[in-house]
Amino acid sequence: MGASRIFRHENYELHCSASAVDGGKFVPAVVVTKQIWPTRPRNIAVRCGNYTTEETAIEAALNQGIEWIASYG
C-alpha cells in the first residue's frame, strides 16, 4: 500500500502518491484536478527516478504536477 497527500496550487488540487516497488524503491504518481469547471481529473506522467522514500517520491510528484500546471493549466 502506498502513501498519498493532497496539495492545492492555484485553482488546482494535486493528489500525489507513492507506491512501493521491488528493491525498496518508490514510484510517484500525481492526479491534477481543476477546482473550477471543467473539473476533469488528469493523470500526469511523472519522471522515473530512484526514490528511496515515500516522501521523496511524493515531492517529485508534486513538483511534476506544479510544472504541468505552469505549462498546460
Percent of the residues in the chain that have a pLDDT greater than 70, as a whole number: 99
Q: Going by DSSP bridges, is the β-strand pair 12-21/42-44 parallel, antiparallel, or unpaired? A: unpaired
pLDDT band, residue 24 (cuts 50/70/90)? confident
In the predicted structure, residue 61 carries a pLDDT above the cut 60: yes
**DSSP-assigned letter for residue 11:** T
Of residues 21 and 13, the one with the higher pLDDT is 13
Amino acid 5: pLDDT: 97
C-alpha cell belonging to residue 15: 493528489
Burial class for 15, CB neighbours closer than 10 Å (0-12, 13-18, 19+): middle
Q: Which domains does the chain have, with CATH numbers?
A: 3-72 (3.30.160)
Amino acid 1: pLDDT: 55
